[in-house]
Amino acid sequence: MLNRMEMIRIFCSAADCSNFREAATRLGVSPQAVTRAIKALEEELGEILFHRNTRQVHITAFGEAYAVRARQTLEGFDSLFRGHRADTESGFSGRVGITAPQAIGKRFLVGFLQPLLKRHPHLQLTLRLEDEITDAVDAQIDIGIRIGSLRDSRYVARTLAPVPLQVVATPELIATTGSPRTLAELQQRPLSVLIDRKSGRPWPWTFADGPSLLPANPALTCDDPEAELEVVLAGLAYGQLPAYLAQPHLESGRLQAVMTQQAPAPWQLFIYRPQQGPVSPRVRLVFDHLRACFSDPAQFPQD
């Protein structure tokens, strides 16, 4: 059984044609289907739309007036879909929720998103900068950036880049304390400790082949990677920092790496999105853009 919108669409086509057969050809249906639709609409309205005999059909006065209103209704209905296509073709619009660790969000994510906002001013980006996995449903997250691993079937995850960890200090501090060669020697240096905000426990320093170190008397204990970096840059402590924070300062000479042969296997930076439901064009746009930016060593340090 045809719904009302289908009946109106067939009626408008018939009103524009000289006979039902021509309307059927235009719509790609049988002439009998057009006849049934017109008859059903007439019964629904309680009015005759066409005078017809075995050779000709003529629209009635009521049919002509009704056709004007019907075309306006169809135009409004179709514009809902044309408007959405226009948005996705000429400029993306709507909300995209993004979460990322605070240091990565402030140092990289905001900069990576700026070109998208300039090209697509109707995008509405919502950022949640948190160091733990954010519940995608409760926080309305469309895209997440995280370090480590994600073993959750509710998400689609893609690896972006390796994140090496390096023990670093200023050249002045290394000259003063001597470059450590073993974990026992490192434990005697002023060290920094980063606190896991979620658990409140310190993150241990990790090294190749499994050993770890928890500084016994740290010179600094904090829960912010950028604050830790500033203390290390001030020459007050050694730190085990991710490459995306340390690399620019290693290249400038403000920091030096020590115990490089004992560096642990790199962590992995990944991007994820919820598994359920279709992916809107605007989310796909942002997802693919961030994937390209974070995978580019020229934009995100990976050494």
Domain 165-262 class?
alpha beta
Of 2-11, 166-175, 261-270, 285-294, give the lowest mean pLDDT range: 2-11
| pLDDT tens, residue by residue, 79-124 | 666 555 554 544 578 889 999 998 999 999 999 999 999 988 888 9
CATH fold of 94-162+267-295: D-Maltodextrin-Binding Protein; domain 2 (3.40.190)
Question: What pLDDT, on a 0 to 100 scale, did the predictor assign at position 137?
Answer: 47
For CATH 3.40.190.10, the residue range(s) in the chain are 94-162+267-295, 165-262
Q: Would the pLDDT of 231 be above 80?
A: yes
Q: Would the pLDDT of 159 be above 80?
A: yes
Stronger pLDDT, 283 or 253, i.e. the higher one: 253
Q: Work out the percent of the chain whose per-residue pLDDT is above 70.
A: 88
| pLDDT tens, residue by residue, 239-273 | 999 999 999 999 999 999 999 999 999 999 999 88
Domain 4-90 class?
mainly alpha
Bridge-based pairing state of the strands 267-274 and 155-163: antiparallel
Which residue in 234, 50, 288, 263 sits closest to 165, CA to CA?
A: 263
Q: Would the pLDDT of 1 be above 60?
A: no
For CATH 1.10.10.10, the residue range(s) in the chain are 4-90
pTM for the predicted model, two decimal places: 0.65
